[in-house]
Chain A
Amino acid sequence: GDSVTQMEGPVTLSEEAFLTINCTYTATGYPSLFWYVQYPGEGLQLLLKATKADDKGSNKGFEATYRKETTSFHLEKGSVQVSDSAVYFCALRGPSGNTPLVFGKGTRLSVIA
């Protein structure tokens, strides 16, 4: 079945450092890909998405590009802030759109001042 693998955490960075969180997937066809973020004590929020190969999703300085050839959707940010400290989840939904979201296990990011 469909699956998502993302890098193990936790990740600790200094403020203004560059962030990369790796995400690869296994799926048939062309799934839609997502990054969700969970701040402490809250539910998940959609951060960005991409629905076809070579699409780039972006939001709040975060970016991720849908790479079909490497089945990857890595999350990047050029300069992280303390407020970016959260758990980040990579997810996919199958091409039909009628299947549930499949999530990776999450990567905890801590940004220190």
Chain B
Amino acid sequence: KAGVTQTPRYLIKTRGQQVTLSCSPISGHRSVSWYQQTPGQGLQFLFEYFSETQRNKGNFPGRFSGRQFSNSRSEMNVSTLELGDSALYLCASSRETNEKLFFGSGTQLSVL
């Protein structure tokens, strides 16, 4: 069974640009969550989607947005990138909202 797949693995952008990250959950999983991981702040929750609906949202500015498609694949978008957005972005999926999370390897975003 394939795991959670995140693309791309690495990304380099400059300030002011926008970026879209992709996450394909494990087959049969309907819930997708996104986390931002930085050395200083650890893992910070961004948002959670279940069956195309946003269930929970973390305390991030509106520049961070996401969506989920009918096949459960999810994307997150960051507009007007700032240096502080440099981080590892992790996606996790589960069958239902409160079940065990399976994490992808993440997308390492560097903003120059």
> Which chain B residues border A104 with CB–CB below 8 Å?
42
Q: Let me know if B42 and A43 touch, CB within 8 A.
A: no
Interface size on A, residues (CB 8 A): 18
Interface string of A79-113 (1 = CB under 8 A from B): 00000000001000100011111111110000000
A46 interfacial by beta-carbon distance below 8 Å: yes
Q: Let me know if B98 and A102 touch, CB within 8 A.
A: no
Number of A-B contacts (CB under 8 A): 44
A45 interfacial by beta-carbon distance below 8 Å: yes
Interface size on B, residues (CB 8 A): 21
Query: Which of B41, B43, B92, B97 has the largest number of chain A CB atoms within 10 A?
Result: B43
Report how far A56 CA is from B100 CA in the complex, Å: 17
B33 interfacial by beta-carbon distance below 8 Å: yes
Provide the main secondary structure of the chain A interface.
loop
Q: Let me know if A43 and B55 touch, CB within 8 A.
A: no
* Contact surface of B with A, Cβ cutoff 8 Å: 4, 33, 35, 41-43, 45, 48, 55-56, 58, 90, 92, 97-98, 100-101, 103-106
